[in-house]
Amino acid sequence: PKILHPLWQSPLTIPGGTRQSPINIQWRDSVYDPFLKPLKISYDPATCLHIWNNGYSFLVEFDDSTDRSIIDGGPLENQYRLKQFHFHWGAINDWGSEHTVDCKFYPAELHLVHWNAVVYPTFEEAVMEGDGLAVIGVFLKLGARHEGLQTLVDALPAVKHKDTVIEFDVFDPSCLMPSCPDYWTYAGSLTTPPLTESVTWIIKKQPIEVDEDQLEAFRMLLFTSDGEEEKRMVDNFRPLQPLMNRTVRSSFQ
Ligand SMILES: NS(=O)(=O)c1ccc(C(=O)N2CCN(Cc3ccccc3)C2)cc1
Ligand SMILES: [Zn+2]
């Protein structure tokens, strides 16, 4: 029988999938690529639009009608436009991230989602193409309170229920980037339906620190709409997928 994911009612494995995400990054198996460029990030905080709870995570969405918030360089051939960022987290601090490093889970993982507007007319079309998307993954680890994240955390009670949205008009996601430029990169997929193999993953080596209260704020969100029986939004990460015939490259030695 087809095993369906409890959260997304989607097949856990994609028939014929050869580049699925997330994966375990085995540090010693990653290959240093001296031709990888530094990642260039330039975000305009004024492109921030709103925060919404879409029933599997909370997303901060950006105005992607122009090239005001983009990334370039790194493993990318073109510049990619920022569309949204979101997180994945666990019910407890022992797990929650989608990718693992040497089989270690982090309590949460940030995904900044960008699309190739140089080649494709819309995000929806880019989602279906091998070089359509670029997602920066940043691990969150338990530690000091993150002041930049706090402005986001303060807004979460207003999007507690699925399909709630609030205006969020100035936020600079650069404040969520770790200071170290090092990253791994590999060819993968969306980790939620339609699971298309359209993502160039750029996973930052250094995590950012957040405190327990900030992680608890994520866990008080709900998968469910107002009036439904409450289900806490936790463990919204996809199981690890086989590496198959892929190499993870590193930008550092
Ligand atoms: N966890 S992750 O970073 O891999 C990630 C997950 C979801 C998305 C996302 O914004 N969407 C997936 C497709 N969906 C809409 C859509 C578009 C075309 C066809 C069908 C459906 C929106 C982006 C990144
Ligand atoms: Zn994600």
Name the closest-CA residue to atom 17, ligand 1.
Answer: 124
Q: Ligand 1, residues 19, 113, 116: which to mutate, most atoms within 8 A of Cβ?
A: 113
Best probe residue, ligand 1, of 83, 97, 139, 192 (max atoms within 8 Å of C-beta) = 192
Return the pLDDT at 7. Answer: 66
Which residue is listed with tokens 């919404």? 52
DSSP category for residue 113: E
Q: pLDDT value at position 155?
A: 98
Q: How far apart are CA 16 and CA 247, in angstroms?
A: 19
Share of the chain above pLDDT 90, in %: 93
Residue nearest to atom 21 of ligand 1 (CA): 194
Distance 144 CA to ligand 1 centre (A): 31
| Whether the predicted interface score ipTM is above 0.95 | yes
Length in residues, the chain: 253
For the stretch 142-177, pLDDT in tens is 999 999 999 999 999 999 999 999 999 899 999 999
pTM confidence score: 0.96
What is the predicted pLDDT for the residue at 233?
98
What is the Cα gyration radius of the chain? Answer: 17
DSSP secondary structure string, 169-210?
----GGGGS-S---EEEEEE--SSTT--S-EEEEEESSPEEE
The span from the CA of 84 to the CA of 72, in Å, is 16
- C-alpha to C-alpha distance for 39 and 226, rounded to whole angstroms: 41
pLDDT value of position 1: 63
Mean pLDDT of the residues in the chain: 96
**Lowest mean pLDDT, pick from 7-16, 19-28, 148-157:** 7-16
Buried b / exposed e across 199-236, counting CB within 10 Å, b at 16+?
bbbbbbbebbebbeebbebbbebbbbeeeeeeeebbeb
In the block, residue with structure tokens 């909370």 = 58
Three-class DSSP category at 123: helix
Considering only residues 32 and 11, tell me which one the structure prediction assigns the higher pLDDT: 32
pLDDT at 12: 65
Q: Contact 201/188 with Cβ under 8 angstroms?
A: yes
**pLDDT tens digits for 103-129?**
999 999 999 999 999 999 999 999 999
Q: What are phi and psi of 47, to 5 degrees?
A: -85, -5
Strands 39-42 and 70-73: antiparallel
Are 137 and 71 in contact by the 8 Å Cβ rule? The answer is no
**Structure confidence at residue 14 (pLDDT):** 74
pLDDT digit string (tens) for 173-226? 999 999 999 999 999 999 999 999 999 999 999 999 999 999 999 999 999 999
